[in-house]
């Protein structure tokens, strides 16, 4: 009951934040609010027993998205043009839809109902079979990378596509090419002592944490995607401290491209290997004598692929935005 | 397992896995070549799958070796094969015919990214066509959509950017609506697999969430499919995209959304929700009808050939939606045939437009006056494909229109007015096409120059092969017919007469 | 002969068209090819004549795109006759065209010959059609391939007229004919032309009249009012094209299709006993009389001829809907008779235009002395239109009237007589003025006869108009087969 | 109690509509992208709500503890994917907005539309 009430409180906050985002005319504050929105959302997910999702939402919604929006706002005016009249028709349609959905909710199973169809079909099978077939503690990781590994392959390609798109749109044209970035002009925060020292101290830990998330994903919440996002957060922090150019020299753009494409290829080649060794695409069981070991190998390699691609793409995107002026 | 059993997976993997390799290339030509080869290979795979479907059938493919509904399955039936042929064929046509045009639109340095996106779009569309899992469809829908946004944004006109942003917003809303619908169904059935869904839906049928789900899915996919009046993103996106891209997406991307709509409405809901077909019919037919008539009428007033053809696409989507909305055997046949035939005609038309723009540099009517005398071969192909679009007998377009009209006549009470609407819109199609044809043959070129300036022979050959395919499938439509027949059987599952 | 060679009849002009396209750079070669194709085609078509006369019905299915809808060809008396007329007149028209096009230095001659060959191919397709679907296909093809011919000149006025031409023909065919075909198919499950009709037992009552209406007005080429507008509009075309439209292919295809549909889809007997179909003879009669009256008021020679054609076409339709054996034969023969007469008239008009650049009626006064051969031919043609013996027009009118008496259809008899009088009223004065009146003031009379090619063509067609009066037995025998099953 | 159990779904509906409303009525393109994020987040909430089960814990098997009740892992997996799709869309959309600003000098939708009409 207490949990439920906390949930209600958090959700109400969520709605208020959402309204504040929509109403705010200053885009900077809107970006900050949407970071808060994501954190609240992550908290909610945590309450709802979805640790992996909470971690991801925090890393992506509050972290990556905020940084991206800020990088974008560097290039565009941060003020919204003053208000325009509401359109009565759209308001009516939207309100009606919302009421309809609320009306429909009375036919739905309530929160946490153990008899809901979702808890009866398929999901129990995952929970029951994971120890036997895959033998890793984190069921979410098992489903993500093995039972529904094909979706995850698709997810990696979505990320890669976004990377391709940003590089295609911002990588050419009027912006400066990567190689000619002037490290003199962009000193970042290096003039400020305290952030510099703090960051220096933090960065190694962040990177270490990322590696932990990457390789411990089978046992605890986490995996390639979250690891990539956190790794990127570390690099971005570094670049804030040391200026763009130096951060870039740590990982050259061509290497980023190789990472992005290589990660996706790595994932795919695990699948093809399964095919060559007599199984179906993405069938890890055939990778080793013992099917369970095969699953382990498959999961570790594809998670690595996911991590590589996510890191490569996110860094490319960040640099593409940063290199534009 | 032998290789033949892997065909459904290979259909997706081949273009998907080639894409990261292509973006690593540094040379525009090599990237194009790589993309073309991968696209040709997928076309070959689609043909193999088609042969298999028409033969013994294609067995279900369990991804990762996990049997559905626990794992993700790939299912290929006649309708999927039809879509695969369309998608891979259109992609190959666009790439093969678009070399010269793309070389102009996209600078060499960014070309590998562009071709990578092209292959990802292709893989995404193929992925939707073979998917047997509702969430997997969402993932691949997003893959193809994101990649398509990139392709459209590559247009040289700055309006390509504003068009693509609108498309991105509406496309995402559509996909999210779809996801919500899937969520509601999952909530009530606990499964994501199409076949399993259809099986388990019977128990919870007529509950509020399922009805809401049907609404969300239908509206979301109608947004993606640009069913009138949810089409606002389409004309500008088609117009300002690079010409080769228009050849590709105009022929197949909206049809894939309709494909998913068919899968859901018939494969999943229909057998369970008895009233569903009536609801669907009542919802979709008025929209389809107004699309058929209004979009055709709007097309008449366009001054840009690409925009005119784009509005024509909206009208043609109306035909498909109308046929699909009839919820009869004949209607589904007509819908599938029209998808195939319209893709054939539109692909050819846009390929001709590509050739026009290649030589004259613009797609506006004023600039294309007299083009028929300057490029007689291309223009003749345009006329043939245009006739197919109108539905003149002897062309592919007639076959599907015939089926459509026969299907419509079978509707008690609706028959005659619907037939009249279809015929009226065919006449409107004659008007808008003939406006251009007349201008092309008898108009005065802007600079008064009427010397010959045809595109190179390989491109002309390609254009003519596409045009002749319109005639071939008008006289020998057995292949699409067989596929549509097989598709209809699986869609209805023997539920309807 | 082997029925599988039937498609050759279509293929030949198509191949001719391609050869003409390739030979476009050398006018002499191009025109030789045109002529050769025409002659070969005529020989090929006529070689089927004996077989069909003997009662054989060669049939060949090329493909079957949809169940029940096939692309099939067959030869039966009506189609045989149409194919013979069209292929034979094509030869003469080609000769004439060479003279005309060169004489007037027309542009884009290659396109002209290509489209001409395509139009003939389409006409052959209509003649050989074994079912409504095939008929419809070639009907549309004929419209499309003649459009560039009508728009030949390419100026704004021509384009506008060509737009009317295309708009009316395509509009009616898609808007009315196609639904009619679909209706027939849905109701009967077939579209194959069958002697005795296929509709009986499937459609009855007022629906029959409606279906007939869809067919008659859907076939705009037959120019039953009010869908006749395209024909006067098409007068902007060069004269050989007018000849093609009025005599060789287009309008003939229209009335041929209607006749064929009435005989083979509805069935003569069935329709005779169906009161709801009776409206058609009134529509035809209205067209005959109105067109004749309008023709009276025309001042332009070609426009007058156009309205004359509209009236004559409805003769055929009128004859068909008398629905008596003799009248059916008369209808068939009138297609041929009118073709010979009208082509002569148009050739003469073209000859006058080529030699003297005259288009208006008042300019023709006294022209007979300058162009005696042309005007002699014109006179023969005009007499045939009125139906004066010894011309072709008399033969067909005789049969039509005979049929009307058989049916005791006094309305038809009256219409035919009234229109004959009207025809005489607009043709005879021209003949009189051309031969006997002095030239109108201010008209340049310093011209001679038309080019030889034109005169040759004129001579042939006018001779034919007369020969047909004396020598028509083979055709009569052939067409009698149409009504063999019916009591004469 | 039963009503409170549906509260999550109501918030889902309200958030969804807030997002949709902002998408339709806001002219600023960056704002539209943020609205898209809210719109998608609502769906995440919807799925995750479904996955929760009373007395359950996150679906991670702890050694030595028997008879644990786990929340449903499947919606969580789906939403992990959907979050990634969402951020990818945001990134691409933002890149397009940056390019639009370079080409048109504004990021207000109606102003861009007006410029498009002129050309």
Q: Are residues A110 and A170 in the same domain?
A: no
All residues of chain B having their beta carbon less than 8 Å from the beta carbon of residue A262 are 20
Chain-chain contact of B143 with A154 (C-beta, under 8 angstroms): yes
- The mean per-residue pLDDT over the stretch C270-276 comes to 84
**Which range scores top for mean pLDDT: A139-148, B121-130, C100-109, C203-212?**
B121-130
- Phi, psi of C59, deg, nearest 5: -140, 140
Alpha-carbon distance B477 to nearest alpha carbon in chain C (angstroms): 6
C360 confidence band (pLDDT: 50, 70, 90): confident
Give the model's pLDDT for residue D33.
94
Question: Residues C314-352: pLDDT tens digits?
Answer: 988 888 888 888 888 888 889 888 988 998 998 898 888
pLDDT at residue D19 in the model = 92
Domain identity same for A72 and A171:
no
Q: Which residues of A touch D105 (CB under 8 A)?
A: none
Burial class (CB in 10 A: 0-12, 13-18, 19+), A263: buried
pLDDT digits (tens, 9 = 90+) for B302-347: 989 999 999 999 999 999 999 988 888 888 899 999 999 999 999 9
How many domains does one find in chain C?
A: 1
D25-to-A16, B163, B234, C88, D42 alpha-carbon distances in Å: 19, 18, 20, 72, 18
Does residue C133 fall inside a structural domain?
A: no
Residues A228 and A320 in one domain: yes
* Same structural domain, A235 and A279: yes
pLDDT reported for residue A175: 42
Residue C488 pLDDT: 42
Question: What pLDDT score was predicted for residue A243?
Answer: 64
Residue B277 scores a pLDDT above 80: no
Q: Cα separation of A32 and A21, whole Å?
A: 9
User: Rounded CA gap, A269 and C173, in Å?
Assistant: 59
Query: In this predicted structure, what is the pLDDT of residue A325?
Result: 67
| Residue C2 counted as domain residue | no
Q: Which domain holds residue C298?
A: 279-488
Residues A156 and A208 reside in one and the same domain: yes
Query: Which of A149-163, A224-238, C106-120, C155-169 is least confident?
Result: A224-238
Of B331, B330, B336, the residue nearest B77 (C-alpha): B336
- Which residues of chain B are within 8 Å of residue D97 when distances are taken between CB atoms? 165
Which residue in D36, D50, D119 is closest to B169 by CB distance?
D36
The predicted structure's pLDDT at residue D82: 94
d(CA C393, CA C386): 7
Better-predicted residue by pLDDT, A171 or C311: C311
CA distance B217 to chain A (A): 14
pLDDT at B274 over 60: no
Q: How many CB atoms lie within 10 A of CB A142?
A: 28
Q: What is the CA radius of gyration of chain D?
A: 20
Distances (CA, A) of A286 to A273, A281, A291, B65, B146: 9, 11, 6, 10, 34
Query: Would you say the pTM of this structure is higher than 0.95?
Result: no
Contact yes or no for B167/B216 (Cβ under 8 A): no
For B172, which of D29, D89, D97 is closest by C-beta distance? D89
- In chain A, positions 43-102, which contact chain D (CB-CB < 8 Å)? 44-45, 48-53, 56-57, 60-61, 64-65, 68-69, 72-73, 75-77, 80-81, 84, 86-87, 90-91, 94-95, 97-98, 101-102
Using alpha carbons, list the distances in angstroms from residue C377 to C235, C340, C354, C455.
21, 11, 16, 9
pLDDT in tens, C393-430: 899 899 999 989 988 888 889 999 999 999 999 899 88
Q: Are residues A130 and A97 in the same domain?
A: no
State whether B159 and D116 contact (CB < 8 Å).
yes
Calculate what percentage of chain A has a pLDDT beyond 90.
Answer: 25
| pLDDT tens-digit map of A30-61 | 998 999 999 999 999 988 888 889 988 988 88
Per-residue model confidence as pLDDT tens digits over A239-258: 766 665 556 566 777 888 99
Specify whether domain D8-53+70-118 bears CATH 3.40.190.10.
no
CA distance B135 to chain D (A): 8
Chain C CB contacts of B442 below 8 Å: 151, 154, 159
For residue A259, the enclosing domain spans 122-325
Name the β-bridge partners of B61. B74
CA-to-CA distance for C21 and C357, rounded, in angstroms?
Answer: 30
**Mean of per-residue pLDDT scores for chain B:** 89
Out of A60, A119, A148, closest to residue D72 by CB: A119
Is C65 in Cβ contact with B399 (below 8 Å)? yes
Minimum distance, in Å, between the CA of residue C157 and any CA atom of chain B: 12
Q: Nearest Cβ partner of A107 from B64, B140, B207?
A: B207
Question: What is the helix (H) or strand (E) element at residue C69, kind and residue range?
Answer: strand C69-74
Structure token pair of residue A95? 């309100």
Which pLDDT score is estimated for A189?
Answer: 52
Between chain A and chain B, are at least 3 CB pairs below 8 A?
yes
With tokens 């985002």, the residue in question is: A21
Q: How large is the average pLDDT for residues B35-59?
A: 93
Interface residue ranges in chain B relative to chain C, Cβ cutoff 8 Å: 387, 390-394, 399, 402-403, 405-406, 409, 419, 423-424, 426-427, 430, 434, 438, 441-442, 474-477, 481
Q: Which residue has the tokens 């970042």?
A: A188
Residue B496, pLDDT > 50, answer: no
Contact A280 B65 (CB under 8 A): yes
Q: Name residues 46-65 of chain D within 8 A of B (Cβ).
A: 46-47, 50
Is there a domain that residue C403 lies in?
Answer: yes
- Inter-chain CB proximity A280 and B6 less than 8 Å: yes
Backbone φ and ψ for C24, nearest 5 degrees, come out as -55, -30
Nearest C-alpha in D relative to B150: D92
Q: What is the pLDDT of residues B30-43, one digit of tens each?
A: 999 999 999 999 99
pLDDT band at C124 (very low <50, low <70, confident <90, very high): very high
Token pair recorded at residue A167: 């590089």
Residue A221 has pLDDT above 50, yes or no: yes
pLDDT of residue B497: 36
The CA distance from A141 to A295, in Å, is 12
Which of A151-160, A199-208, A244-253, B127-136 is least confident?
Answer: A244-253
Minimal C-alpha gap between D3 and chain A (Å): 8
Instruction: Inform me whether the pLDDT recorded for A173 exceeds 50.
Output: no
Q: Where are the domains of chain D?
A: 8-53+70-118
In this prediction, residue A76 carries a pLDDT of 86
Smallest Cα distance from B413 to chain D, Å: 39
Examine the domain organization and report whether A44 and A110 are in the same domain. Answer: no
Shared domain check, A244 and A210 = yes
Name the CA dihedral angle for A271, A276, A278, A280, rounded to a multiple of 10 degrees. Answer: 30
SS3 for chain B, per residue?
CCHHHHHHHHHHHHHHHHHHHHHHCCCHHHHHHHHHHHHHHHHHHHHHHHHHHHCCCCCCEEHHHCCCCCCCEECCCHHHHHHHHHHHHHHHHHHHHCHHHHHHHCCCCCHHHHHHHHHHHHHHHHHHHHECEHHHHHHHHHHHHHHHHHHHHCCCCCHHHHHHHHHHHHHHHHHHHHHHHHHHHHHHHCCCEHHHHHHHHHHHCCCHHHHHHHHHHHHHHHHHHCCCCCCCCHHHHHHHCCHHHHHHHHHHHHHHHHHHHHHHHHHHHHCCCCCHHHHHHHHHHHHHHHHHHHHHHHHHCCCEHHHHHHHHHHHHHHHHHHHHHCCCHHHHHHHHHHHHHHHHHHHHHHHHHHHHHHHHCCCEHHHHCCHHHHCHHHHHHHHHHHHHHHCCCCCHHHHHHHHHHHHHHCCCCCHHHHHHHHHHHHHHHHHHHHHHHHHHHHCCCCCCCCCCCCCCHHHHHHHHHHHHHHHHHHHCCHHHHHHHHHHHHHHHCCCCC
Give C190's DSSP letter: -
What mean pLDDT, rounded, does chain C reach?
A: 87
Regarding chains A and C, contact by 3 or more CB pairs under 8 A is answered as no
pLDDT value at A314 more than 80: yes
Q: Which of C65, C140, C154 sits opposite B476 (nearest CB)?
A: C65
Q: Is C152 inside any structural domain?
A: no
Q: How confident is the model at residue C454 (pLDDT cuts 50, 70, 90)?
A: confident
Q: How far apart are CA B148 and CA B136, in angstroms?
A: 18
Contact residues, chain D, for A158 at CB < 8 Å:
84-85, 88
Q: How far is CA C205 from the centre of its chain?
A: 32
> D25 pLDDT exceeds 90?
no
Contacts of C443 (CB under 8 A, 6+ apart): C358, C363, C365
Q: Which two tokens stand for residue B254?
A: 């909206």
Contact B208 A103 (CB under 8 A): yes
C neighbours by CB contacts (3+ pairs under 8 Å):
B
CA C263 to chain centre: 18
Give the confidence band of A181 by pLDDT, cuts at 50, 70, 90. very low
Nearest to residue B424, comparing CAs of C176, C140, C166, C135?
Answer: C176
Q: What percentage of chain C carries pLDDT values higher than 90?
A: 21
Question: Are residues A104 and A73 both part of a single domain?
Answer: no
Tell me the average pLDDT across D35-61: 89
Q: Write down the pLDDT at residue A249.
A: 60
Chain C closest-CA separation from residue B134 CA (Å) = 35
Which residue in this structure is represented by tokens 């013992």?
A290
pLDDT value for C217: 92
Residue of higher predicted confidence among B1 and D81 = D81
For chain A, what is the domain count? 3
Q: List the helix and strand counts (H, then E) for chain A.
A: 14, 0
Choose among C398, C428, C393, C394: nearest CA to C413: C398
Q: Which residue has the higher pLDDT, B270 or A15?
A: A15
Mean pLDDT of B68-85: 91
**Mapping DSSP to helix (H, G, I), strand (E, B) and coil, where does residue C281 land?**
helix
Nearest to B394 among C137, C166, C182 (CB): C137
Are A51 and A135 members of one domain?
Answer: no
Is pLDDT at A321 greater than 90 in this prediction?
no
For D93-104, write each residue's pLDDT tens digit: 999 999 999 899
Instruction: Name every residue whose Cβ is closer than 8 Å to that of residue A205 and which is 6 or more positions away in sequence.
Output: none
- The model's pLDDT over C144-197, given as tens digits with 9 standing for 90+, comes to 999 988 888 888 888 888 889 998 998 899 889 988 998 888 888 888 888 888
pLDDT at D13 over 80: yes
| Confidence band of B1 (pLDDT split at 50, 70, 90) | low
With CB atoms and an 8 Å threshold, state whether B139 touches D81. Answer: yes
What tokens appear for B445 in the block?
Answer: 């070129």
CB contact under 8 A, D93 and B150: no
As a whole number of angstroms, the distance between CA D91 and CA D97 comes to 10
Closest by CA position to C315, among listed C336, C334, C341: C334
Helix (H) or strand (E) holding C74: strand C69-74
Q: How far is B169 from chain D (nearest CA, A)?
A: 8
Q: Which chains pack against B, by 3+ Cβ pairs within 8 A? A: A, C, D
In the block, residue with structure tokens 């081949």? B14
Task: Please report all neighbours of D, defined by 3+ CB atom pairs within 8 A.
Answer: A, B
| Beta-carbon separation of B172 and D112 below 8 A | no
Same domain, A20 and A106: no
């Amino acid at each position: 009951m207490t949990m439920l009430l906390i949930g209600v409180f958090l959700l109400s906050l969520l709605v208020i934040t959402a309204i504040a985002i929509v109403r705010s005319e200053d885009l900077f504050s809107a970006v900050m609010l949407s970071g808060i929105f994501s954190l609240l959302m992550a908290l909610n997910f945590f309450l709802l027993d979805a640790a992996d999702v909470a971690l991801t939402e925090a890393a992506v919604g509050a972290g990556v998205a905020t940084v991206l929006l800020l990088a974008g706002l560097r290039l565009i005016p941060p003020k919204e043009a003053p208000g325009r009249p509401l359109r009565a028709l759209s308001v009516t349609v939207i309100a009606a839809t919302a009421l309809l959905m609320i009306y429909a909710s009375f036919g739905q199973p309530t929160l946490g109902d153990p008899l809901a169809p979702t808890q009866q079909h398929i999901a129990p099978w995952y929970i029951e079979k994971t120890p036997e077939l895959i033998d890793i503690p984190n069921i979410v990781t098992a489903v993500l990378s093995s039972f529904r590994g094909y979706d995850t392959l698709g997810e990696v390609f979505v990320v890669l596509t976004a990377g391709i798109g940003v590089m295609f749109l911002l990588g050419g044209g009027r912006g400066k090419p990567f190689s000619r970035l002037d490290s003199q002009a962009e000193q970042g925060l290096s003039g400020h002592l305290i952030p510099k020292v703090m960051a220096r101290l933090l960065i190694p830990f962040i990177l270490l944490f990322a590696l932990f998330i990457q390789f411990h994903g089978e046992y605890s919440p986490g995996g390639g995607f979250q690891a990539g996002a956190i790794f990127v957060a570390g690099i971005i922090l570094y670049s804030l401290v040391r200026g763009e150019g130096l951060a870039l020299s740590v990982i050259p753009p061509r290497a980023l491209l190789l990472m992005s494409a290589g990660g996706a290829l790595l994932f795919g080649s695990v699948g093809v290997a399964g095919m060559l060794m007599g199984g179906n695409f993405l069938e890890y069981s055939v990778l080793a004598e013992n099917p369970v070991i095969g699953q382990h190998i498959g999961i570790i390699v594809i998670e690595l692929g996911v991590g590589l691609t996510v890191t490569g793409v996110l860094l490319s995107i960040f640099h593409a935005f940063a290199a534009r002026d | 397992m032998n290789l033949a059993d892997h065909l459904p997976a290979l259909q997706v993997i081949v273009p998907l896995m080639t894409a990261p390799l292509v973006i690593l290339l540094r040379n525009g030509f090599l990237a194009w070549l790589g993309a073309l080869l991968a696209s040709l290979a997928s076309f070959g795979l689609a043909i193999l799958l088609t042969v298999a479907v028409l033969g013994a059938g294609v067995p279900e493919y369990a991804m990762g070796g996990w049997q559905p509904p626990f794992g993700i399955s790939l299912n290929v039936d006649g309708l999927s094969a039809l879509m695969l042929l369309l998608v891979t064929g259109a992609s190959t046509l666009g790439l093969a015919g678009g070399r010269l045009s793309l070389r102009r639109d996209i600078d060499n340095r960014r070309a590998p990214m562009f071709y990578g996106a092209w292959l990802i779009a292709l893989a995404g569309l193929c992925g939707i066509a073979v998917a047997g899992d509702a969430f997997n469809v969402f993932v691949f829908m997003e893959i193809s959509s994101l990649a398509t946004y990139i392709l459209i944004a590559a247009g040289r006109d700055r309006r390509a950017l504003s068009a693509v942003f609108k498309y991105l917003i509406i496309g995402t809303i559509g996909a999210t609506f779809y996801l919500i619908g899937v969520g509601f169904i999952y909530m009530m059935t606990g499964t994501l697999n199409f076949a399993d869904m259809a099986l388990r839906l019977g128990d919870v049928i007529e509950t509020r969430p399922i009805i809401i789900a049907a609404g969300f899915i239908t509206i979301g996919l109608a947004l993606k499919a640009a069913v009138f009046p949810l089409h606002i993103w389409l004309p500008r996106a088609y117009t300002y995209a690079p010409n080769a891209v228009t050849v590709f997406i105009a022929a197949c991307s909206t049809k894939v959304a309709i494909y998913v709509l068919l899968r859901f409405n018939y494969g999943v809901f229909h057998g369970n929700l008895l009233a569903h077909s009536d609801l669907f019919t009542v919802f979709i037919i008025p929209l389809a009808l107004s699309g058929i008539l209004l979009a055709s009428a709007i097309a008449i007033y366009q001054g840009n050939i690409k925009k005119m053809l784009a509005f024509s696409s909206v009208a043609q989507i109306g035909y498909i939606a109308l046929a699909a909305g009839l919820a009869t055997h004949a209607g589904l046949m007509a819908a599938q045939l029209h998808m195939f035939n319209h893709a054939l005609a539109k692909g050819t038309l846009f390929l001709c437009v590509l050739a026009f723009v290649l030589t004259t540099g613009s797609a506006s009517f004023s600039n294309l006056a007299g083009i028929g005398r300057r490029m007689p071969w291309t223009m003749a192909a345009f006329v043939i494909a245009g006739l197919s679009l109108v539905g003149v007998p002897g062309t592919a377009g007639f076959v599907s229109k015939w089926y459509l009209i026969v299907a419509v006549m079978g509707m008690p009470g609706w028959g005659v007015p619907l037939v009249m609407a279809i015929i009226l819109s065919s006449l409107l199609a004659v008007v808008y096409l003939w406006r251009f044809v007349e201008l092309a043959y008898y108009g005065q070129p802007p600079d008064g120059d009427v010397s010959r300036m045809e595109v190179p022979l390989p491109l002309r050959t390609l254009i003519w092969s596409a045009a002749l395919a319109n005639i071939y499938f008008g006289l020998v439509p057995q292949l699409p017919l067989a596929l549509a027949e097989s598709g209809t059987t699986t869609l209805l599952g023997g539920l309807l007469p | 002969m082997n029925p599988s060679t039937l498609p050759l009849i279509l293929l030949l002009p198509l191949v001719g068209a391609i050869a003409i396209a390739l030979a476009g750079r050398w006018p002499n070669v191009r025109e030789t090819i045109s002529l050769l194709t025409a002659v070969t085609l005529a020989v090929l078509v006529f070689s089927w004549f004996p077989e069909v006369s003997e009662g054989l019905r060669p049939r060949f299915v090329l493909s079957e795109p949809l169940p029940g809808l096939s692309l099939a060809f067959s030869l039966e008396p009506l189609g045989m006759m149409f194919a013979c007329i069209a292929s034979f007149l094509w030869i003469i028209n080609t000769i004439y065209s060479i003279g005309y096009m060169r004489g007037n230095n027309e542009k884009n001659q290659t396109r002209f010959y290509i489209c001409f060959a395509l139009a003939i191919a389409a006409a052959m397709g209509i003649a050989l059609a074994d079912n409504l679907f095939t008929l419809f296909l070639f009907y549309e093809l004929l419209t499309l391939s003649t459009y560039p011919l009508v728009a030949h000149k390419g100026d704004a006025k021509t384009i506008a007229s060509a737009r009317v031409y295309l708009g009316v023909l395509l509009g009616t065919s898609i808007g009315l004919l196609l639904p009619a075909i679909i209706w027939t198919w849905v109701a009967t499950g077939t579209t194959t032309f069958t002697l005795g009709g296929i509709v009986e037992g499937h459609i009855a009552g007022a629906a029959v009249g409606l279906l007939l209406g869809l067919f008659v007005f859907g076939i705009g080429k037959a120019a039953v009012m009010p869908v006749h507008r395209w024909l006067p509009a098409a007068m902007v075309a060069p004269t050989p094209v007018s000849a093609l439209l009025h005599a060789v292919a287009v309008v003939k295809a229209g009335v041929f299709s209607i006749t064929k549909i009435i005989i083979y889809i509805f069935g003569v007997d069935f329709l005779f006993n169906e009161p709801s179909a009776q409206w058609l003879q009134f529509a035809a009669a209205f067209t005959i009389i109105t067109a004749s009256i309008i023709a009276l008021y025309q001042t332009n020679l070609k426009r007058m001829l156009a309205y004359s054609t509209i009236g004559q076409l409805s003769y055929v339709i009128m004859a068909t809907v008398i629905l008596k054996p003799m009248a059916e034969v008369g209808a068939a023969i009138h297609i041929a008779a009118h073709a010979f007469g009208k082509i002569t008239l148009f050739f003469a008009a073209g000859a006058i235009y080529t030699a003297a650049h005259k288009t208006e009626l008042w300019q023709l006064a006294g022209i007979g002395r300058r162009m005696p051969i042309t005007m002699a031919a014109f006179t023969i043609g005009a007499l045939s239109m009125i139906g004066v013996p010894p011309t072709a027009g008399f033969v067909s009118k005789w049969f039509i009237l005979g049929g009307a008496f058989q049916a005791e259809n006094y309305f038809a008899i009256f219409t035919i007589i009234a229109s004959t009088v009207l025809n005489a009223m607009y043709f005879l004065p021209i003949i009189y003025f051309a031969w006997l009146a002095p030239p109108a003031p201010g008209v340049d009379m310093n011209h001679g006869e038309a080019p030889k090619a034109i005169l040759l063509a004129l001579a042939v067609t006018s001779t034919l108009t007369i020969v047909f009066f004396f020598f028509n037995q083979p055709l009569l025998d052939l067409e009698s087969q149409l009504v063999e099953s019916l009591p004469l | 109690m039963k009503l409170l159990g549906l509260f999550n779904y109501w918030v889902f509906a309200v958030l969804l509509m807030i997002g949709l409303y902002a998408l339709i009525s806001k002219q600023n393109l960056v704002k539209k992208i943020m609205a898209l994020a809210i719109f998608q987040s609502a769906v995440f909430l919807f799925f995750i709500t479904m996955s929760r089960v009373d007395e359950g814990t996150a679906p991670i098997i702890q050694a030595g503890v028997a008879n644990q009740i786990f929340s449903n892992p499947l919606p969580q997996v789906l939403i992990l994917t959907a979050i990634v799709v969402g951020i990818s869309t945001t990134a691409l959309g933002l890149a397009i907005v940056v390019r639009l600003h370079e080409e048109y000098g504004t990021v207000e939708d109606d102003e861009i539309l007006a410029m498009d009409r002129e050309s």
